[in-house]
A and B are shown apart, each in its own frame.
Chain A
Protein backbone atom coordinates (compact mmCIF):
# COMPACT_ATOMS: atom_id res chain seq x y z
CA UNK A 1 0.00 0.00 0.00
CA UNK A 2 1.69 3.21 -1.14
CA UNK A 3 0.47 5.14 1.86
CA UNK A 4 2.42 2.96 4.25
CA UNK A 5 5.37 2.78 1.93
CA UNK A 6 5.60 6.58 1.84
CA UNK A 7 5.22 6.86 5.58
CA UNK A 8 7.87 4.25 6.24
CA UNK A 9 10.38 5.93 4.01
CA UNK A 10 9.57 9.28 5.54
CA UNK A 11 10.26 7.85 8.97
CA UNK A 12 13.58 6.46 7.87
CA UNK A 13 14.98 9.80 6.81
CA UNK A 14 16.31 11.08 10.11
CA UNK A 15 14.00 13.99 10.87
CA UNK A 16 14.49 16.46 13.74
CA UNK A 17 12.90 15.90 17.14
CA UNK A 18 9.12 15.98 16.97
CA UNK A 19 7.57 18.94 18.81
CA UNK A 20 4.45 16.77 19.19
CA UNK A 21 6.21 13.97 21.06
CA UNK A 22 4.61 14.77 24.43
CA UNK A 23 1.10 15.09 22.96
CA UNK A 24 1.59 11.86 21.04
CA UNK A 25 2.49 10.02 24.21
CA UNK A 26 -0.70 11.29 25.84
CA UNK A 27 -2.67 10.38 22.72
CA UNK A 28 -1.44 6.80 22.93
CA UNK A 29 -2.87 6.67 26.43
CA UNK A 30 -6.24 7.81 25.04
CA UNK A 31 -6.11 11.43 26.24
CA UNK A 32 -8.92 13.34 24.49
CA UNK A 33 -7.43 16.79 25.21
CA UNK A 34 -4.23 15.71 23.54
CA UNK A 35 -6.24 14.63 20.49
CA UNK A 36 -8.06 17.96 20.37
CA UNK A 37 -4.78 19.83 20.70
CA UNK A 38 -3.28 17.90 17.79
CA UNK A 39 -6.37 18.46 15.64
CA UNK A 40 -6.24 22.19 16.31
CA UNK A 41 -2.52 22.31 15.62
CA UNK A 42 -2.49 20.31 12.40
CA UNK A 43 -6.05 20.62 11.10
CA UNK A 44 -5.39 23.92 9.30
CA UNK A 45 -2.45 22.79 7.20
CA UNK A 46 -4.18 19.49 6.39
CA UNK A 47 -7.26 21.36 5.21
CA UNK A 48 -5.18 23.66 3.03
CA UNK A 49 -3.29 20.76 1.54
CA UNK A 50 -6.40 18.67 0.87
CA UNK A 51 -8.41 21.58 -0.51
CA UNK A 52 -5.83 21.89 -3.27
CA UNK A 53 -6.92 18.44 -4.46
CA UNK A 54 -10.65 18.15 -3.99
CA UNK A 55 -13.49 20.30 -5.34
CA UNK A 56 -15.21 21.39 -2.14
CA UNK A 57 -14.67 22.25 1.48
CA UNK A 58 -17.13 19.57 2.56
CA UNK A 59 -15.15 16.86 0.80
CA UNK A 60 -11.92 18.28 2.19
CA UNK A 61 -13.31 18.00 5.71
CA UNK A 62 -14.21 14.37 5.11
CA UNK A 63 -10.73 13.63 3.83
CA UNK A 64 -9.17 15.36 6.84
CA UNK A 65 -11.41 13.37 9.17
CA UNK A 66 -10.44 10.14 7.39
CA UNK A 67 -6.81 11.13 7.74
CA UNK A 68 -7.08 11.44 11.51
CA UNK A 69 -8.90 8.13 11.78
CA UNK A 70 -6.25 6.42 9.67
CA UNK A 71 -3.59 8.02 11.85
CA UNK A 72 -5.27 6.77 15.04
CA UNK A 73 -5.58 3.29 13.62
CA UNK A 74 -1.99 3.35 12.42
CA UNK A 75 -0.55 4.87 15.55
CA UNK A 76 1.21 1.66 16.52
CA UNK A 77 3.07 1.71 13.22
CA UNK A 78 4.16 5.31 13.65
CA UNK A 79 7.55 5.04 15.26
CA UNK A 80 8.28 8.71 15.60
CA UNK A 81 11.23 8.69 13.23
CA UNK A 82 9.58 11.44 11.20
CA UNK A 83 7.60 14.31 12.56
CA UNK A 84 3.93 13.63 13.12
CA UNK A 85 2.91 16.30 10.65
CA UNK A 86 5.09 14.76 7.93
CA UNK A 87 3.33 11.46 8.46
CA UNK A 88 -0.11 13.11 8.52
CA UNK A 89 0.67 14.92 5.26
CA UNK A 90 1.58 11.70 3.47
CA UNK A 91 -1.62 9.99 4.66
CA UNK A 92 -3.77 12.99 3.73
CA UNK A 93 -2.26 13.32 0.28
CA UNK A 94 -2.85 9.69 -0.54
CA UNK A 95 -6.48 10.05 0.44
CA UNK A 96 -6.86 13.38 -1.31
CA UNK A 97 -5.35 12.11 -4.55
CA UNK A 98 -7.71 9.13 -4.57
CA UNK A 99 -10.68 11.26 -3.68
CA UNK A 100 -9.74 13.96 -6.20
CA UNK A 101 -9.67 11.34 -8.93
CA UNK A 102 -13.00 9.88 -7.88
CA UNK A 103 -14.62 13.33 -7.87
CA UNK A 104 -13.45 13.84 -11.45
CA UNK A 105 -11.22 16.79 -10.65
CA UNK A 106 -8.17 15.17 -12.03
CA UNK A 107 -7.27 14.42 -15.60
CA UNK A 108 -7.30 11.14 -17.52
CA UNK A 109 -4.62 8.75 -16.42
CA UNK A 110 -2.12 9.08 -19.26
CA UNK A 111 -2.21 12.84 -19.09
CA UNK A 112 -2.12 12.75 -15.32
CA UNK A 113 0.89 10.51 -15.40
CA UNK A 114 2.71 12.76 -17.82
CA UNK A 115 1.98 15.78 -15.70
CA UNK A 116 3.06 13.95 -12.57
CA UNK A 117 6.42 13.19 -14.09
CA UNK A 118 6.92 16.87 -14.67
CA UNK A 119 10.23 18.44 -15.29
CA UNK A 120 9.38 19.95 -18.65
CA UNK A 121 8.50 23.46 -19.61
CA UNK A 122 10.32 26.76 -19.15
CA UNK A 123 9.73 29.15 -16.26
CA UNK A 124 8.48 31.76 -18.68
CA UNK A 125 7.15 31.96 -22.22
CA UNK A 126 10.24 31.90 -24.52
CA UNK A 127 8.77 34.87 -26.37
CA UNK A 128 9.67 37.01 -23.40
CA UNK A 129 13.32 36.70 -24.50
CA UNK A 130 15.19 37.79 -27.62
CA UNK A 131 15.68 35.10 -30.23
CA UNK A 132 18.92 34.15 -31.98
CA UNK A 133 18.68 37.10 -34.31
CA UNK A 134 18.02 39.58 -31.53
CA UNK A 135 20.49 42.20 -30.46
CA UNK A 136 21.30 40.18 -27.33
CA UNK A 137 19.94 36.62 -27.69
CA UNK A 138 18.50 35.17 -24.51
CA UNK A 139 18.16 38.56 -22.84
CA UNK A 140 14.79 40.08 -22.09
CA UNK A 141 12.61 41.11 -25.02
CA UNK A 142 9.67 41.82 -22.76
CA UNK A 143 11.10 42.42 -19.27
CA UNK A 144 9.08 42.30 -16.09
CA UNK A 145 7.50 45.58 -15.05
CA UNK A 146 7.46 46.76 -11.44
CA UNK A 147 4.24 45.87 -9.66
CA UNK A 148 2.25 48.87 -8.57
CA UNK A 149 1.64 49.19 -4.88
CA UNK A 150 2.58 45.55 -4.26
CA UNK A 151 2.29 45.69 -0.48
CA UNK A 152 -1.42 46.38 -0.32
CA UNK A 153 -2.32 44.57 -3.52
CA UNK A 154 -0.53 41.37 -2.54
CA UNK A 155 -2.51 41.27 0.66
CA UNK A 156 -5.88 41.87 -1.01
CA UNK A 157 -8.38 39.00 -1.01
CA UNK A 158 -8.60 39.21 -4.77
CA UNK A 159 -4.87 38.51 -5.04
CA UNK A 160 -5.17 35.57 -2.66
CA UNK A 161 -7.77 34.10 -4.97
CA UNK A 162 -5.38 34.53 -7.89
CA UNK A 163 -2.64 32.74 -5.94
CA UNK A 164 -4.88 29.86 -4.91
CA UNK A 165 -6.30 29.49 -8.40
CA UNK A 166 -2.80 29.48 -9.88
CA UNK A 167 -1.77 26.73 -7.48
CA UNK A 168 -4.85 24.66 -8.23
CA UNK A 169 -4.02 24.87 -11.92
CA UNK A 170 -0.57 23.36 -11.37
CA UNK A 171 0.19 19.67 -11.93
CA UNK A 172 -0.40 17.77 -8.66
CA UNK A 173 3.19 17.33 -7.52
CA UNK A 174 4.04 20.98 -8.06
CA UNK A 175 0.85 21.90 -6.22
CA UNK A 176 1.83 19.77 -3.24
CA UNK A 177 5.38 21.07 -3.05
CA UNK A 178 4.48 24.76 -3.23
CA UNK A 179 1.61 24.37 -0.76
CA UNK A 180 3.83 22.78 1.86
CA UNK A 181 6.90 24.92 1.21
CA UNK A 182 5.43 28.37 0.72
CA UNK A 183 1.95 28.34 2.27
CA UNK A 184 2.71 26.07 5.23
CA UNK A 185 6.35 27.16 5.45
CA UNK A 186 7.96 23.72 5.70
CA UNK A 187 11.63 23.31 4.87
CA UNK A 188 12.86 21.39 1.84
CA UNK A 189 13.91 18.34 3.81
CA UNK A 190 10.54 17.82 5.43
CA UNK A 191 8.69 18.27 2.14
CA UNK A 192 10.99 15.71 0.52
CA UNK A 193 10.13 13.28 3.29
CA UNK A 194 6.39 13.84 3.16
CA UNK A 195 6.24 13.54 -0.63
CA UNK A 196 9.04 11.02 -1.04
CA UNK A 197 11.03 13.15 -3.50
CA UNK A 198 14.72 13.46 -4.25
CA UNK A 199 16.39 16.71 -3.32
CA UNK A 200 16.71 17.76 -6.96
CA UNK A 201 13.15 16.80 -7.76
CA UNK A 202 11.78 18.80 -4.88
CA UNK A 203 13.67 21.85 -6.09
CA UNK A 204 12.65 21.43 -9.74
CA UNK A 205 8.98 21.08 -8.78
CA UNK A 206 9.21 24.11 -6.51
CA UNK A 207 10.86 26.08 -9.29
CA UNK A 208 8.18 25.27 -11.85
CA UNK A 209 5.45 26.01 -9.35
CA UNK A 210 6.84 29.34 -8.13
CA UNK A 211 7.59 30.47 -11.67
CA UNK A 212 4.01 29.85 -12.75
CA UNK A 213 2.52 31.45 -9.67
CA UNK A 214 4.71 34.51 -10.17
CA UNK A 215 3.55 34.67 -13.78
CA UNK A 216 -0.09 34.50 -12.65
CA UNK A 217 0.54 37.35 -10.22
CA UNK A 218 2.24 39.33 -12.95
CA UNK A 219 -0.73 38.92 -15.20
CA UNK A 220 -3.07 39.94 -12.40
CA UNK A 221 -1.09 42.96 -11.17
CA UNK A 222 0.22 44.22 -14.50
CA UNK A 223 -1.74 42.87 -17.42
CA UNK A 224 0.20 43.15 -20.67
CA UNK A 225 -1.19 45.89 -22.90
CA UNK A 226 -2.15 43.49 -25.71
CA UNK A 227 -3.96 41.28 -23.23
CA UNK A 228 -5.75 44.25 -21.79
CA UNK A 229 -7.09 45.03 -25.26
CA UNK A 230 -8.12 41.45 -26.02
Chain B
Protein backbone atom coordinates (compact mmCIF):
# COMPACT_ATOMS: atom_id res chain seq x y z
CA UNK B 1 0.00 0.00 0.00
CA UNK B 2 1.34 3.41 -0.88
CA UNK B 3 -0.52 6.06 1.04
CA UNK B 4 -0.51 9.59 -0.39
CA UNK B 5 2.30 11.67 1.01
CA UNK B 6 0.35 14.84 1.73
CA UNK B 7 -1.83 13.75 4.61
CA UNK B 8 -1.72 11.80 7.80
CA UNK B 9 -2.02 8.02 7.64
CA UNK B 10 -5.43 6.66 8.59
CA UNK B 11 -5.93 3.98 11.24
CA UNK B 12 -6.99 1.57 8.50
CA UNK B 13 -3.64 2.12 6.80
CA UNK B 14 -1.82 1.82 10.12
CA UNK B 15 -3.11 -1.70 10.81
CA UNK B 16 -1.75 -2.78 7.41
CA UNK B 17 1.66 -1.23 8.07
CA UNK B 18 2.21 -2.54 11.57
CA UNK B 19 4.20 -5.61 10.49
CA UNK B 20 6.52 -3.56 8.28
CA UNK B 21 7.07 -1.36 11.30
CA UNK B 22 7.69 -4.19 13.77
CA UNK B 23 9.97 -5.93 11.27
CA UNK B 24 12.02 -2.78 10.81
CA UNK B 25 11.27 -2.73 7.09
CA UNK B 26 10.34 0.96 6.74
CA UNK B 27 12.46 3.72 5.33
CA UNK B 28 12.96 6.82 7.47
CA UNK B 29 10.16 8.76 5.84
CA UNK B 30 7.59 5.98 6.19
CA UNK B 31 8.60 5.38 9.79
CA UNK B 32 8.27 9.07 10.59
CA UNK B 33 4.75 9.11 9.17
CA UNK B 34 3.86 5.94 11.07
CA UNK B 35 5.17 7.39 14.32
CA UNK B 36 3.43 10.69 13.70
CA UNK B 37 0.14 8.82 13.68
CA UNK B 38 1.04 6.77 16.76
CA UNK B 39 1.80 9.97 18.67
CA UNK B 40 -1.72 11.20 18.03
CA UNK B 41 -3.77 7.99 18.23
CA UNK B 42 -4.19 6.00 21.44
CA UNK B 43 -6.22 3.30 19.70
CA UNK B 44 -3.44 2.55 17.22
CA UNK B 45 -0.90 2.61 20.05
CA UNK B 46 -3.01 -0.02 21.76
CA UNK B 47 -3.37 -2.02 18.54
CA UNK B 48 0.40 -2.15 18.07
CA UNK B 49 0.84 -3.13 21.70
CA UNK B 50 -1.68 -5.95 21.21
CA UNK B 51 0.23 -7.16 18.16
CA UNK B 52 3.36 -7.30 20.32
CA UNK B 53 1.45 -9.16 23.03
CA UNK B 54 0.19 -11.63 20.44
CA UNK B 55 3.76 -12.33 19.29
CA UNK B 56 4.94 -12.79 22.88
CA UNK B 57 2.03 -15.14 23.62
CA UNK B 58 2.89 -17.24 20.56
CA UNK B 59 6.48 -17.45 21.77
CA UNK B 60 5.26 -18.96 25.03
CA UNK B 61 3.43 -21.88 23.49
CA UNK B 62 5.22 -24.87 24.99
CA UNK B 63 7.29 -27.22 22.88
CA UNK B 64 5.80 -30.35 21.41
CA UNK B 65 7.72 -33.59 21.47
CA UNK B 66 7.51 -36.99 19.94
CA UNK B 67 6.70 -39.83 22.31
CA UNK B 68 9.50 -41.98 23.76
CA UNK B 69 8.06 -44.92 21.77
CA UNK B 70 8.26 -43.03 18.50
CA UNK B 71 11.79 -41.97 19.36
CA UNK B 72 12.86 -45.58 20.01
CA UNK B 73 11.34 -46.65 16.69
CA UNK B 74 13.33 -43.93 15.07
CA UNK B 75 16.57 -45.02 16.69
CA UNK B 76 15.88 -48.58 15.52
CA UNK B 77 15.40 -47.23 12.00
CA UNK B 78 18.66 -45.34 12.38
CA UNK B 79 20.47 -48.58 13.23
CA UNK B 80 19.06 -50.16 10.07
CA UNK B 81 20.16 -47.19 8.03
CA UNK B 82 23.64 -47.41 9.49
CA UNK B 83 23.87 -51.08 8.65
CA UNK B 84 22.67 -50.56 5.11
CA UNK B 85 25.04 -47.71 4.41
CA UNK B 86 28.07 -49.20 6.19
Of residues 109 through 137 on chain A, the ones whose CB sits less than 8 Å from some CB of chain B are 122-124, 126, 129, 136-137
Q: Residue of A at shortest CB range from B86?
A: A30
Contacts of A94 in B (CB 8 A): none
Bin chain A's interface residue count: 35 or more
Contacts of B11 in A (CB 8 A): 129, 138-140, 143
Mark each residue of chain A from 40 to 83: 1 if its CB lies under 8 Å from any CB of chain B, else 0.
00011101100100000000110011001100110000000000
* Contact B46 A146, beta carbon cutoff 8 Å: yes
Q: Which applies to chain A's interface (DSSP): helix, strand, loop or mixed?
A: helix
Q: Report the Cα distance A183→B82, complex, angstroms.
A: 33
* Contact A150 B82, beta carbon cutoff 8 Å: no
Judged by a CB distance under 8 angstroms, whether A36 is at the interface is yes
Judged by a CB distance under 8 angstroms, whether A226 is at the interface is no
- A-B contacts, CB under 8 A, total: 138
Judged by a CB distance under 8 angstroms, whether B39 is at the interface is no
A67 to chain B, nearest CB (A): 10
Segment among A9-17, A85-93, A95-103, A159-167 that sits at the interface with chain B = A159-167
Bin chain B's interface residue count: 35 or more
- Contact A210:B43 (CB < 8 A) given known A36-B75, A48-B64, A124-B15: no
Q: Residue of A at shortest CB range from B62?
A: A160
Q: Residue B60 contacts which of A39, A43, A154, A211 (CB distance < 8 angstroms)? A: A154
Judged by a CB distance under 8 angstroms, whether B36 is at the interface is no
Between A and B, 7 residue pairs with Cβ closer than 8 Å are: A36-B71, A44-B65, A61-B66, A69-B81, A136-B10, A146-B46, A183-B61
Chain A interfacial positions (CB closer than 8 Å to B): 30, 32, 35-36, 39, 43-45, 47-48, 51, 60-61, 64-65, 68-69, 72-73, 122-124, 126, 129, 136-140, 143-144, 146-147, 150, 154-155, 159-160, 163-164, 178, 182-183, 185, 188, 203, 206-207, 210-211, 213-214, 217-218
